[in-house]
Amino acid sequence: MTATAPEIHRGLAGVVVDTTEISTVIQETNSLTYRGYPVQDLAARRSFEEVAHLLWYGELPDEGQLRAFRARERALRPLDRTTWELLARLPETCHPMDVLRTAVSFFGAEDPTEDDGSLAAHRAKSLTLLAKLPTVVAADQRRRRGLDPIPPDPGLGYAENFFHMCFGSVPAPEVVRCFEISLTLYAEHSFNASTFTARVVTSTLSDLYSAVTAAIGALKGPLHGGANEAVMHMLLEIGDPQRAQAWLDEALASKRKIMGFGHRVYKHGDSRVPIMQDALDRLVARAADPEVTRLATLHAALRDAVLHRKGIHPNLDYPAGLAYHLMGFDIPAFTPIFVLSRITGWTAHITEQLAHNALIRPLASYGGPGQRAVPGAA
Ligand SMILES: CC(=O)SCCNC(=O)CCNC(=O)[C@H](O)C(C)(C)COP(=O)(O)OP(=O)(O)OC[C@H]1O[C@@H](n2cnc3c(N)ncnc32)[C@H](O)[C@@H]1OP(=O)(O)O
Ligand SMILES: O=C([O-])CC(=O)C(=O)O
Protein backbone atom coordinates (compact mmCIF):
# COMPACT_ATOMS: atom_id res chain seq x y z
CA MET A 1 0.00 0.00 0.00
CA THR A 2 1.45 3.41 -0.94
CA ALA A 3 0.96 6.40 1.37
CA THR A 4 -0.86 9.37 -0.21
CA ALA A 5 1.54 12.24 -0.94
CA PRO A 6 1.12 15.12 1.52
CA GLU A 7 -0.23 18.39 0.15
CA ILE A 8 2.67 20.85 -0.10
CA HIS A 9 2.13 24.58 0.45
CA ARG A 10 5.35 26.16 -0.81
CA GLY A 11 5.93 29.52 0.79
CA LEU A 12 3.01 28.66 3.12
CA ALA A 13 0.78 30.24 0.47
CA GLY A 14 -2.84 30.20 1.58
CA VAL A 15 -2.05 28.47 4.88
CA VAL A 16 -3.78 29.83 8.00
CA VAL A 17 -1.36 29.06 10.84
CA ASP A 18 -2.87 30.90 13.82
CA THR A 19 -5.33 33.56 14.90
CA THR A 20 -4.50 37.22 15.58
CA GLU A 21 -6.42 40.14 17.07
CA ILE A 22 -4.02 42.80 15.81
CA SER A 23 -4.95 43.38 12.18
CA THR A 24 -6.69 41.79 9.26
CA VAL A 25 -6.05 42.00 5.54
CA ILE A 26 -9.35 41.39 3.77
CA GLN A 27 -8.49 40.08 0.31
CA GLU A 28 -11.99 40.29 -1.14
CA THR A 29 -12.39 44.01 -0.42
CA ASN A 30 -8.69 44.97 -0.55
CA SER A 31 -9.00 46.42 2.92
CA LEU A 32 -6.92 46.47 6.08
CA THR A 33 -7.93 47.16 9.66
CA TYR A 34 -5.79 47.63 12.80
CA ARG A 35 -7.70 46.40 15.87
CA GLY A 36 -10.88 46.88 13.82
CA TYR A 37 -10.19 50.43 12.57
CA PRO A 38 -9.77 50.98 8.79
CA VAL A 39 -6.16 51.95 8.16
CA GLN A 40 -7.08 54.78 5.81
CA ASP A 41 -9.10 56.46 8.58
CA LEU A 42 -6.24 56.03 11.05
CA ALA A 43 -3.80 57.51 8.53
CA ALA A 44 -6.09 60.47 7.87
CA ARG A 45 -7.05 61.27 11.46
CA ARG A 46 -4.49 59.94 13.92
CA SER A 47 -0.81 60.44 14.69
CA PHE A 48 1.65 57.57 14.36
CA GLU A 49 2.11 57.55 18.14
CA GLU A 50 -1.64 56.94 18.57
CA VAL A 51 -1.43 54.07 16.07
CA ALA A 52 1.50 52.55 17.99
CA HIS A 53 -0.54 52.73 21.20
CA LEU A 54 -3.50 51.11 19.42
CA LEU A 55 -1.40 48.22 18.15
CA TRP A 56 0.22 47.56 21.52
CA TYR A 57 -2.67 48.16 23.92
CA GLY A 58 -5.63 47.33 21.68
CA GLU A 59 -7.23 50.79 22.01
CA LEU A 60 -6.54 54.34 20.85
CA PRO A 61 -5.17 56.41 23.75
CA ASP A 62 -7.21 59.10 25.48
CA GLU A 63 -5.54 62.51 25.95
CA GLY A 64 -3.80 61.61 29.21
CA GLN A 65 -2.58 58.25 27.90
CA LEU A 66 -1.22 59.88 24.76
CA ARG A 67 0.59 62.57 26.76
CA ALA A 68 2.22 59.92 28.98
CA PHE A 69 3.07 57.71 25.99
CA ARG A 70 4.71 60.61 24.13
CA ALA A 71 6.66 61.71 27.20
CA ARG A 72 8.07 58.21 27.72
CA GLU A 73 8.99 57.79 24.03
CA ARG A 74 10.73 61.17 23.88
CA ALA A 75 12.76 60.50 27.02
CA LEU A 76 14.10 57.22 25.60
CA ARG A 77 15.41 58.60 22.28
CA PRO A 78 19.08 59.32 23.18
CA LEU A 79 21.70 56.58 22.72
CA ASP A 80 24.37 55.80 25.31
CA ARG A 81 28.11 56.17 24.73
CA THR A 82 28.73 52.46 24.07
CA THR A 83 26.07 52.38 21.34
CA TRP A 84 27.66 55.40 19.64
CA GLU A 85 31.06 53.66 19.83
CA LEU A 86 29.60 50.49 18.33
CA LEU A 87 27.92 52.37 15.46
CA ALA A 88 31.12 54.27 14.68
CA ARG A 89 33.00 50.96 14.28
CA LEU A 90 30.66 49.49 11.65
CA PRO A 91 31.96 49.80 8.09
CA GLU A 92 30.17 52.34 5.91
CA THR A 93 30.15 49.71 3.17
CA CYS A 94 27.52 47.66 5.02
CA HIS A 95 23.85 48.29 4.35
CA PRO A 96 22.03 50.50 6.92
CA MET A 97 19.74 47.51 7.63
CA ASP A 98 22.87 45.69 8.87
CA VAL A 99 23.56 48.64 11.17
CA LEU A 100 20.02 48.54 12.52
CA ARG A 101 20.09 44.76 12.98
CA THR A 102 23.39 45.05 14.86
CA ALA A 103 22.06 47.90 17.02
CA VAL A 104 18.99 45.89 18.08
CA SER A 105 21.15 42.90 18.89
CA PHE A 106 23.42 45.16 20.95
CA PHE A 107 20.46 46.69 22.83
CA GLY A 108 19.53 43.11 23.78
CA ALA A 109 23.03 42.38 25.04
CA GLU A 110 22.97 45.58 27.12
CA ASP A 111 19.48 45.15 28.59
CA PRO A 112 19.65 43.87 32.20
CA THR A 113 15.98 42.73 32.02
CA GLU A 114 16.70 40.68 28.91
CA ASP A 115 15.39 37.38 30.27
CA ASP A 116 12.30 38.76 32.04
CA GLY A 117 9.44 37.62 29.78
CA SER A 118 6.70 39.65 31.57
CA LEU A 119 4.22 41.75 29.60
CA ALA A 120 5.42 44.93 31.34
CA ALA A 121 9.04 44.19 30.39
CA HIS A 122 7.99 43.49 26.79
CA ARG A 123 6.14 46.77 26.54
CA ALA A 124 9.11 48.67 28.00
CA LYS A 125 11.51 47.05 25.51
CA SER A 126 9.15 47.74 22.60
CA LEU A 127 8.93 51.41 23.54
CA THR A 128 12.70 51.61 23.94
CA LEU A 129 13.21 50.26 20.41
CA LEU A 130 10.54 52.56 18.97
CA ALA A 131 12.28 55.55 20.57
CA LYS A 132 15.91 54.69 19.86
CA LEU A 133 15.83 53.22 16.35
CA PRO A 134 15.16 56.58 14.62
CA THR A 135 18.24 57.98 16.37
CA VAL A 136 20.30 55.12 14.93
CA VAL A 137 18.90 55.45 11.38
CA ALA A 138 19.31 59.24 11.27
CA ALA A 139 22.86 59.17 12.66
CA ASP A 140 23.84 56.42 10.22
CA GLN A 141 22.52 58.39 7.24
CA ARG A 142 24.44 61.47 8.38
CA ARG A 143 27.63 59.47 8.98
CA ARG A 144 27.53 58.23 5.38
CA ARG A 145 27.23 61.85 4.28
CA GLY A 146 30.29 62.75 6.39
CA LEU A 147 28.17 64.66 8.95
CA ASP A 148 27.99 64.55 12.76
CA PRO A 149 24.84 63.20 14.40
CA ILE A 150 22.14 65.59 15.60
CA PRO A 151 20.71 64.77 19.04
CA PRO A 152 16.96 64.09 19.31
CA ASP A 153 14.69 66.98 20.23
CA PRO A 154 12.19 66.04 22.98
CA GLY A 155 10.03 68.98 21.93
CA LEU A 156 9.22 67.33 18.59
CA GLY A 157 6.84 64.50 17.67
CA TYR A 158 8.10 61.16 16.35
CA ALA A 159 7.97 62.07 12.64
CA GLU A 160 9.21 65.65 13.05
CA ASN A 161 12.09 64.57 15.27
CA PHE A 162 13.25 62.09 12.65
CA PHE A 163 13.53 64.85 10.03
CA HIS A 164 15.30 67.05 12.57
CA MET A 165 17.87 64.32 13.33
CA CYS A 166 18.43 63.58 9.62
CA PHE A 167 18.60 67.10 8.22
CA GLY A 168 18.85 69.55 11.11
CA SER A 169 15.46 71.04 10.22
CA VAL A 170 11.82 70.05 10.01
CA PRO A 171 10.12 70.43 6.61
CA ALA A 172 6.69 71.95 5.94
CA PRO A 173 3.81 70.31 7.87
CA GLU A 174 2.42 68.75 4.66
CA VAL A 175 5.71 66.88 4.13
CA VAL A 176 5.80 65.67 7.74
CA ARG A 177 2.16 64.59 7.37
CA CYS A 178 2.99 62.57 4.26
CA PHE A 179 5.82 60.85 6.14
CA GLU A 180 3.55 60.13 9.10
CA ILE A 181 0.94 58.62 6.77
CA SER A 182 3.61 56.27 5.41
CA LEU A 183 4.53 55.24 8.98
CA THR A 184 0.91 54.43 9.78
CA LEU A 185 0.46 52.45 6.57
CA TYR A 186 3.69 50.49 7.09
CA ALA A 187 3.04 49.75 10.79
CA GLU A 188 1.31 46.38 10.60
CA HIS A 189 0.27 43.77 8.06
CA SER A 190 -0.70 40.53 9.78
CA PHE A 191 1.48 37.45 9.09
CA ASN A 192 3.86 38.95 6.51
CA ALA A 193 7.31 37.35 6.22
CA SER A 194 9.13 39.55 8.78
CA THR A 195 6.33 39.42 11.36
CA PHE A 196 6.07 35.67 10.93
CA THR A 197 9.84 35.45 11.41
CA ALA A 198 9.49 37.35 14.69
CA ARG A 199 6.72 34.97 15.76
CA VAL A 200 8.80 31.89 14.87
CA VAL A 201 11.71 33.13 16.99
CA THR A 202 9.36 34.06 19.85
CA SER A 203 7.67 30.64 19.70
CA THR A 204 10.90 29.04 20.97
CA LEU A 205 10.61 31.35 24.03
CA SER A 206 13.60 33.32 22.82
CA ASP A 207 13.81 37.03 23.72
CA LEU A 208 12.26 40.08 22.04
CA TYR A 209 15.56 41.47 20.74
CA SER A 210 16.37 38.17 19.00
CA ALA A 211 12.93 38.16 17.39
CA VAL A 212 13.29 41.78 16.18
CA THR A 213 16.84 41.18 14.95
CA ALA A 214 15.59 38.25 12.86
CA ALA A 215 12.61 40.27 11.61
CA ILE A 216 14.93 43.04 10.39
CA GLY A 217 16.86 40.40 8.44
CA ALA A 218 13.64 39.17 6.82
CA LEU A 219 12.44 42.68 5.98
CA LYS A 220 15.72 43.55 4.27
CA GLY A 221 15.08 41.22 1.32
CA PRO A 222 13.88 42.81 -1.95
CA LEU A 223 10.81 40.58 -2.15
CA HIS A 224 9.66 42.19 1.12
CA GLY A 225 10.65 45.57 2.64
CA GLY A 226 13.78 45.96 0.52
CA ALA A 227 11.46 46.60 -2.43
CA ASN A 228 10.99 50.29 -1.49
CA GLU A 229 14.71 50.86 -2.20
CA ALA A 230 14.60 48.69 -5.32
CA VAL A 231 11.71 50.79 -6.67
CA MET A 232 13.80 53.94 -6.55
CA HIS A 233 16.84 52.27 -8.13
CA MET A 234 14.55 51.00 -10.89
CA LEU A 235 13.01 54.45 -11.55
CA LEU A 236 16.48 56.02 -11.73
CA GLU A 237 17.63 53.23 -14.05
CA ILE A 238 14.70 53.85 -16.42
CA GLY A 239 15.25 57.58 -16.14
CA ASP A 240 12.76 58.83 -18.71
CA PRO A 241 8.97 58.37 -18.93
CA GLN A 242 9.36 57.67 -22.67
CA ARG A 243 11.50 54.63 -21.85
CA ALA A 244 9.04 53.02 -19.41
CA GLN A 245 7.33 50.74 -21.94
CA ALA A 246 10.54 49.55 -23.66
CA TRP A 247 12.26 49.02 -20.29
CA LEU A 248 9.32 46.95 -19.08
CA ASP A 249 9.28 44.79 -22.23
CA GLU A 250 12.95 44.08 -21.79
CA ALA A 251 12.64 43.39 -18.06
CA LEU A 252 9.75 40.97 -18.56
CA ALA A 253 11.54 39.24 -21.44
CA SER A 254 14.49 38.60 -19.14
CA LYS A 255 12.10 37.39 -16.39
CA ARG A 256 12.95 40.24 -14.04
CA LYS A 257 10.56 40.95 -11.19
CA ILE A 258 9.20 44.50 -11.37
CA MET A 259 9.89 45.95 -7.96
CA GLY A 260 7.00 47.44 -6.01
CA PHE A 261 4.43 45.34 -7.89
CA GLY A 262 2.48 42.26 -6.87
CA HIS A 263 1.54 40.93 -3.46
CA ARG A 264 1.07 37.55 -1.85
CA VAL A 265 -2.33 38.46 -0.39
CA TYR A 266 -3.78 41.31 -2.46
CA LYS A 267 -4.36 40.26 -6.04
CA HIS A 268 -6.48 43.25 -7.08
CA GLY A 269 -4.56 46.12 -5.50
CA ASP A 270 -2.96 46.90 -2.14
CA SER A 271 -5.41 48.61 0.24
CA ARG A 272 -2.71 51.09 1.31
CA VAL A 273 -1.69 52.30 -2.13
CA PRO A 274 -4.49 54.84 -2.85
CA ILE A 275 -3.80 56.81 0.34
CA MET A 276 -0.01 56.71 -0.11
CA GLN A 277 -0.35 57.66 -3.78
CA ASP A 278 -2.54 60.59 -2.77
CA ALA A 279 0.11 61.74 -0.27
CA LEU A 280 2.79 61.33 -2.96
CA ASP A 281 0.73 63.39 -5.45
CA ARG A 282 0.57 66.19 -2.88
CA LEU A 283 4.36 66.08 -2.45
CA VAL A 284 4.83 66.27 -6.21
CA ALA A 285 2.42 69.19 -6.60
CA ARG A 286 4.09 71.02 -3.71
CA ALA A 287 7.58 70.61 -5.20
CA ALA A 288 6.57 72.37 -8.45
CA ASP A 289 9.86 71.22 -9.96
CA PRO A 290 10.21 69.86 -13.54
CA GLU A 291 12.58 67.07 -12.41
CA VAL A 292 10.09 65.92 -9.76
CA THR A 293 7.24 66.08 -12.28
CA ARG A 294 9.30 63.98 -14.70
CA LEU A 295 9.89 61.31 -12.04
CA ALA A 296 6.19 61.32 -11.12
CA THR A 297 5.24 60.96 -14.81
CA LEU A 298 7.63 58.03 -15.16
CA HIS A 299 6.21 56.48 -11.96
CA ALA A 300 2.66 56.71 -13.36
CA ALA A 301 3.71 55.50 -16.83
CA LEU A 302 5.37 52.37 -15.43
CA ARG A 303 2.40 51.66 -13.14
CA ASP A 304 -0.01 51.86 -16.11
CA ALA A 305 2.28 49.76 -18.32
CA VAL A 306 2.67 46.96 -15.72
CA LEU A 307 -1.06 46.87 -15.11
CA HIS A 308 -1.77 46.79 -18.84
CA ARG A 309 0.86 44.14 -19.71
CA LYS A 310 0.65 41.88 -16.65
CA GLY A 311 -2.50 42.86 -14.76
CA ILE A 312 -0.31 43.33 -11.67
CA HIS A 313 -1.00 46.22 -9.27
CA PRO A 314 1.56 48.25 -7.30
CA ASN A 315 2.08 47.51 -3.60
CA LEU A 316 2.79 50.08 -0.86
CA ASP A 317 6.52 50.11 -1.62
CA TYR A 318 5.85 51.64 -5.04
CA PRO A 319 4.50 55.05 -3.94
CA ALA A 320 6.46 55.00 -0.64
CA GLY A 321 9.82 54.59 -2.42
CA LEU A 322 9.36 57.69 -4.56
CA ALA A 323 7.86 59.65 -1.64
CA TYR A 324 10.94 58.99 0.53
CA HIS A 325 13.19 60.10 -2.32
CA LEU A 326 11.25 63.35 -2.67
CA MET A 327 11.50 63.90 1.10
CA GLY A 328 15.28 63.88 0.73
CA PHE A 329 16.19 60.54 2.33
CA ASP A 330 19.04 58.52 0.83
CA ILE A 331 17.84 55.32 -0.89
CA PRO A 332 19.58 52.91 1.56
CA ALA A 333 17.61 54.53 4.40
CA PHE A 334 14.21 53.59 2.92
CA THR A 335 13.95 50.06 4.34
CA PRO A 336 15.31 51.18 7.74
CA ILE A 337 12.49 53.77 7.75
CA PHE A 338 10.06 50.87 7.19
CA VAL A 339 11.56 49.32 10.37
CA LEU A 340 10.87 52.52 12.36
CA SER A 341 7.21 51.90 11.67
CA ARG A 342 6.94 48.08 11.57
CA ILE A 343 8.67 47.79 14.96
CA THR A 344 5.18 48.49 16.35
CA GLY A 345 3.54 45.60 14.50
CA TRP A 346 6.40 43.17 15.17
CA THR A 347 6.41 43.80 18.89
CA ALA A 348 2.59 43.60 19.10
CA HIS A 349 2.84 40.15 17.45
CA ILE A 350 5.69 39.05 19.72
CA THR A 351 3.52 39.83 22.75
CA GLU A 352 0.52 38.07 21.20
CA GLN A 353 2.57 35.00 20.28
CA LEU A 354 3.84 34.69 23.86
CA ALA A 355 0.36 35.04 25.31
CA HIS A 356 -0.87 31.98 23.35
CA ASN A 357 2.36 30.26 22.48
CA ALA A 358 2.81 27.09 20.46
CA LEU A 359 6.22 26.19 19.05
CA ILE A 360 6.16 26.86 15.29
CA ARG A 361 7.59 23.80 13.62
CA PRO A 362 6.08 22.66 10.29
CA LEU A 363 6.80 19.42 8.48
CA ALA A 364 8.61 18.84 5.20
CA SER A 365 8.12 16.17 2.59
CA TYR A 366 11.46 14.49 2.07
CA GLY A 367 12.66 14.33 -1.54
CA GLY A 368 16.32 13.32 -1.13
CA PRO A 369 18.06 9.97 -1.71
CA GLY A 370 16.56 6.82 -0.20
CA GLN A 371 18.31 5.35 2.84
CA ARG A 372 21.78 4.06 1.91
CA ALA A 373 24.84 2.72 3.64
CA VAL A 374 27.74 5.01 4.53
CA PRO A 375 30.76 3.59 2.61
CA GLY A 376 32.77 1.49 5.03
CA ALA A 377 29.95 1.14 7.59
CA ALA A 378 29.10 -2.44 8.58
C1 LIG B 1 5.66 45.64 1.84
C2 LIG B 1 5.87 44.42 1.02
O3 LIG B 1 6.61 43.56 1.42
S4 LIG B 1 4.97 44.27 -0.38
C5 LIG B 1 5.95 43.22 -1.45
C6 LIG B 1 7.19 43.94 -1.92
N7 LIG B 1 7.91 43.11 -2.91
C8 LIG B 1 8.02 43.46 -4.21
O9 LIG B 1 7.50 44.47 -4.65
C10 LIG B 1 8.85 42.56 -5.06
C11 LIG B 1 8.18 42.24 -6.39
N12 LIG B 1 7.02 41.38 -6.21
C13 LIG B 1 7.16 40.04 -6.11
O14 LIG B 1 8.25 39.47 -6.23
C15 LIG B 1 5.90 39.21 -5.85
O16 LIG B 1 4.76 39.85 -6.32
C17 LIG B 1 5.74 38.90 -4.33
C18 LIG B 1 6.96 38.16 -3.81
C19 LIG B 1 5.54 40.18 -3.54
C20 LIG B 1 4.48 38.02 -4.14
O21 LIG B 1 4.75 36.86 -4.78
P22 LIG B 1 3.84 35.55 -4.79
O23 LIG B 1 2.58 35.71 -4.05
O24 LIG B 1 4.70 34.43 -4.41
O25 LIG B 1 3.42 35.51 -6.26
P26 LIG B 1 4.31 34.93 -7.42
O27 LIG B 1 5.72 35.44 -7.32
O28 LIG B 1 4.09 33.44 -7.44
O29 LIG B 1 3.62 35.61 -8.65
C30 LIG B 1 2.54 35.07 -9.40
C31 LIG B 1 2.78 35.39 -10.85
O32 LIG B 1 2.84 36.81 -11.03
C33 LIG B 1 4.14 37.20 -11.46
N34 LIG B 1 4.56 38.35 -10.70
C35 LIG B 1 4.22 38.67 -9.43
N36 LIG B 1 4.81 39.80 -9.07
C37 LIG B 1 5.54 40.20 -10.11
C38 LIG B 1 6.38 41.30 -10.33
N39 LIG B 1 6.58 42.21 -9.37
N40 LIG B 1 6.98 41.41 -11.52
C41 LIG B 1 6.80 40.50 -12.49
N42 LIG B 1 6.01 39.43 -12.34
C43 LIG B 1 5.40 39.28 -11.17
C44 LIG B 1 5.07 36.02 -11.17
O45 LIG B 1 6.18 35.98 -12.01
C46 LIG B 1 4.13 34.86 -11.36
O47 LIG B 1 3.99 34.61 -12.73
P48 LIG B 1 3.90 33.11 -13.30
O49 LIG B 1 2.67 32.53 -12.65
O50 LIG B 1 3.81 33.31 -14.76
O51 LIG B 1 5.14 32.44 -12.84
O1 LIG C 1 1.92 41.32 3.81
C2 LIG C 1 2.92 41.05 3.13
O3 LIG C 1 3.18 39.92 2.68
C4 LIG C 1 3.91 42.12 2.80
C5 LIG C 1 3.41 43.47 3.12
O6 LIG C 1 2.68 44.08 2.37
C7 LIG C 1 3.78 44.05 4.40
O8 LIG C 1 4.44 43.39 5.20
O9 LIG C 1 3.41 45.21 4.64
Nearest 5°: phi and psi at 79? -100, 155
Domain residue ranges of the chain, discontinuous segments joined by +: 23-172+186-221+338-355, 227-326
The pLDDT value given to residue 115: 62
Question: Is residue 148 flagged as an active site residue?
Answer: no
Q: Which fold has domain 23-172+186-221+338-355?
A: Citrate Synthase; domain 1 (1.10.580)
Q: What is the pLDDT of residues 55-91, one digit of tens each?
A: 999 999 999 999 999 999 999 999 999 999 999 999 9
Establish whether residue 223 lines the binding site of ligand 1, counting it when its CB lies within 6 angstroms of any ligand atom: yes
Q: Please say if the pLDDT value at position 267 is more than 90.
A: no
Among the listed residues 53, 122, 164, 263, the single catalytic one is: 263
Any residues with Cβ below 6 Å from ligand 2, and which? 189, 192, 263-265, 315
Q: What is the pLDDT of residues 124-151, one digit of tens each?
A: 999 999 999 999 999 999 999 999 999 9
Q: What is the pLDDT of residues 146-205, one digit of tens each?
A: 999 999 999 999 999 999 999 999 999 999 999 999 999 999 999 999 999 999 999 999
Question: Is residue 53 flagged as an active site residue?
Answer: no
| Average pLDDT across the chain, whole number | 96
Q: Let me know if domain 227-326 sits in CATH 1.10.230.10.
A: yes
Q: What pLDDT band is residue 114 in, cutting at 50, 70 and 90?
A: low
Single out the residue of 207, 193, 197, 271 nearest to residue 13, CA to CA: 193
- Atom 6 in ligand 2: residue holding the nearest Cα: 189
Among the listed residues 313, 317, 325, 349, the single catalytic one is: 317
Confirm whether pTM is higher than 0.95.
yes
Q: Please tell me if the domain spanning 23-172+186-221+338-355 has the same topology as the one spanning 227-326.
A: no
The pLDDT value given to residue 118: 87
H-helix or E-strand containing 34?
strand 31-34
Ligand 1 centroid – CA 35 distance (Å):
28
Question: How many CA atoms does the CB half-sphere of 32 hold within 13 Å?
Answer: 22
Cα separation, 181 vs 161, in Å, equals: 15
Single out the residue of 182, 150, 184, 189 nearest to residue 169, CA to CA: 150
Q: What pLDDT band is residue 2 in, cutting at 50, 70 and 90?
A: low
Q: Please say if the pLDDT value at position 3 is more than 90.
A: no
Single out the residue of 98, 164, 114 nearest to residue 339, CA to CA: 98
Taking residues 313-338, what's their average pLDDT?
Answer: 98
Cα separations in angstroms, 324 against 7, 180, 320, 332, 334: 42, 11, 6, 11, 7
Q: Please say if the pLDDT value at position 43 is more than 90.
A: yes
Q: Please say if the pLDDT value at position 1 is more than 70.
A: no
Ligand nearest to the CA of 346: 2
Residue 154 contacts residue 75 (beta carbons within 8 Å): yes
